């Protein structure tokens, strides 16, 4: 969300009129943009709460992530009850689960170290219906969708996020390691194996939907993600955790504008970005813009797994055959090769003596971004 916000707040363009090539730099680029960004929602479903505060920057700035530190953050109810959030570091503030009264409205109150005071509007607590199912179909790749419904017809506005986790393996399962101090080849113990890894990534796009134009509050085949054919995400086993949130109409409209601005950004022939108005205001300086929309709802989620064996003719996205071709040096030259080229590692032992060497990215799965620690839900 932060990347999208930078682009929305700091939009600028170069236009060519009658072959004029002189650059035009709007004031929004040159001005000192330092607006508060409120990212996150208040979870009313018995889970921990996390809010992240940061500041916008100019397009030309080298530092893009500026967390808002040492702020005081509280959740306040209409009847005067306050819940203080604790600083978790790096601009994040959170608390243990809080029980919210669905008949009472709440607001977020922020006081910054620089003396700024910010408040959201009072918002209602929205219960989120359970996800019916998360399904996938094989087309050119794999398309994953969510289905949901609210039999009371009271939700109508939805937002989704997801978290992908996938298991992958290195090209070689090496049982050996090299000690650079003693020039010795040793066996790896079970805690040193680097063949199986897991990677995790979150959703980047804004996924929202509404059933306000339907007679029933039913969401059918709302697309979450498309996995292209040959992706390493399906090389062994894949999992996706889909999260669903109920929105108010006002929150939906905010996310709708945010999504539209992100989609249209960068094209001078498309629609110009709309004004992004959230429900957080600066009380100490009413003319100061604030980015963010505070919502309170429960979270429903559902996880599915896809095994490589369930997907036929998947292929591979990388040419490992050529990249990971092993070389076999003379047995007495192993230490020479490894000491002089740290991109090599031991792939396997040769019958009769010696070892085959290959690029370490083909041996150590961690070098492709993952960790050897198996997730608790795996």
CA distances from 227 to 134, 255, 263 (A): 15, 24, 20
Same domain (yes/no): 1, 114? yes
Residue 225 lies in a domain: no
Same domain (yes/no): 94, 1? yes
CA distances from 160 to 100, 148, 219, 220, 252 (A): 22, 11, 12, 13, 12
**For strand 117-120 and strand 296-297, is the pairing parallel, antiparallel, or unpaired?**
unpaired
Quote the pLDDT of residue 244. 97
Same domain (yes/no): 5, 69? yes
Residue 276 lies in a domain: yes
Same domain (yes/no): 8, 112? yes
Residue 21 lies in a domain: yes
Positions of the chain with pLDDT under 50: 2-21, 23-26, 28-29, 267-270, 272
Q: How far is CA 174 from the centre of its chain?
A: 32
Final residue in a domain of this structure, among 294, 326, 357? 294
**For strand 344-349 and strand 299-307, is the pairing parallel, antiparallel, or unpaired?**
unpaired
Residue 149 lies in a domain: no
Q: How many residues does the chain have?
A: 378
Residue 217 lies in a domain: no
Residue 133 lies in a domain: no
pLDDT tens-digit map of 309-322: 999 889 865 567 77
Give first-to-last CA distance, the chain, whole Å: 28
Residue 70 lies in a domain: yes
Contacts of 372 (CB under 8 A, 6+ apart): 193, 194, 196, 197, 198, 365, 366
Residue 164 lies in a domain: no
Same domain (yes/no): 322, 271? no
Same domain (yes/no): 109, 191? no
Same domain (yes/no): 5, 74? yes
Same domain (yes/no): 14, 93? yes
Looking at the DSSP bridge assignments, the partners of residue 162 are 242
What global pTM score does this model have?
0.84
Q: How far is CA 228 from the centre of its chain?
A: 18
In whole angstroms, give the CA distance from residue 346 to residue 355.
7
* Total domains, the chain: 2
Joined together, the tokens standing for residue 251 give 């929150």
**For helices 2-9 and 249-264, what crossing angle results, to 10°?**
70
Same domain (yes/no): 112, 6? yes
Which residues form the domain of 66? 1-122+249-294
Percent of the chain topping pLDDT 90: 78
Quote the pLDDT of residue 21. 43
Closest by Cα among 214, 243, 105, 206 to 156: 214
Quote the pLDDT of residue 47. 84
Same domain (yes/no): 100, 190? no
Quote the pLDDT of residue 199. 98
Same domain (yes/no): 27, 176? no
Contacts of 240 (CB under 8 A, 6+ apart): 134, 144, 162, 163, 164, 165, 224, 225, 303, 304
Same domain (yes/no): 6, 115? yes
Closest by Cα among 207, 199, 197, 163 to 304: 163
């Amino acid at each position: 969300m932060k990347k999208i916000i930078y682009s929305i707040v700091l939009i600028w363009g170069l236009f060519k009129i009658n072959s004029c090539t002189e650059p035009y730099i709007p004031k929004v680029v040159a001005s000192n943009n330092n607006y508060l960004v409120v990212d996150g929602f208040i979870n009313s479903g018995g889970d921990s709460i996390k809010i992240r505060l940061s500041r916008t920057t100019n397009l030309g700035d080298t530092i893009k992530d500026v967390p808002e530190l040492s702020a005081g953050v509280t959740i306040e109810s209409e009847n005067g009850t306050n819940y203080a959030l604790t600083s978790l570091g790096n601009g994040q503030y959170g608390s243990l689960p809080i029980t919210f009264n669905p008949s009472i409205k709440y607001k977020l109150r922020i006081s910054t170290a620089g003396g700024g005071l910010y408040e959201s509007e009072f918002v209602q607590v929205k219960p989120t219906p359970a996800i019916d199912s998360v399904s996938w179909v094989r087309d050119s790749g794999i398309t994953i969708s969510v289905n949901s419904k609210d039999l009371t017809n009271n939700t109508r506005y939805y937002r989704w996020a997801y978290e992908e986790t996938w298991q992958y393996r290195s090209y070689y399962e090496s049982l050996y390691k090299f000690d650079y101090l003693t020039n010795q080849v040793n066996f790896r113990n079970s805690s040193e194996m680097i063949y199986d890894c897991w990677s995790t990534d979150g959703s980047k796009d804004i996924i929202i939907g509404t059933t306000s134009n339907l007679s029933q509050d039913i969401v059918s085949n709302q697309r979450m993600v498309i996995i292209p054919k040959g992706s390493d995400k399906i090389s062994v086993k894949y999992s996706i955790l889909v999260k669903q949130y109920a929105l108010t109409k006002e929150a939906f409209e905010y996310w709708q504008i945010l999504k539209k601005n992100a989609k249209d950004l960068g094209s001078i022939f498309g629609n110009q970005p709309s004004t992004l108005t959230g429900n957080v205001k600066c009380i100490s300086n009413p003319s100061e813009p604030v980015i963010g929309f505070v919502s309170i709802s429960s979270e429903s989620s559902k996880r599915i797994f896809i095994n490589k064996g369930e997907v036929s003719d998947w292929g591979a996205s990388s040419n490992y055959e050529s990249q990971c071709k092993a070389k076999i040096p003379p047995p007495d030259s192993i230490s020479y090769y490894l000491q002089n080229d740290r991109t090599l590692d031991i792939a396997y032992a040769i019958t009769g003596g010696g070892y085959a060497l290959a690029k370490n990215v083909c041996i150590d799965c961690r070098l492709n971004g993952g960790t050897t620690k198996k997730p608790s839900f795996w």
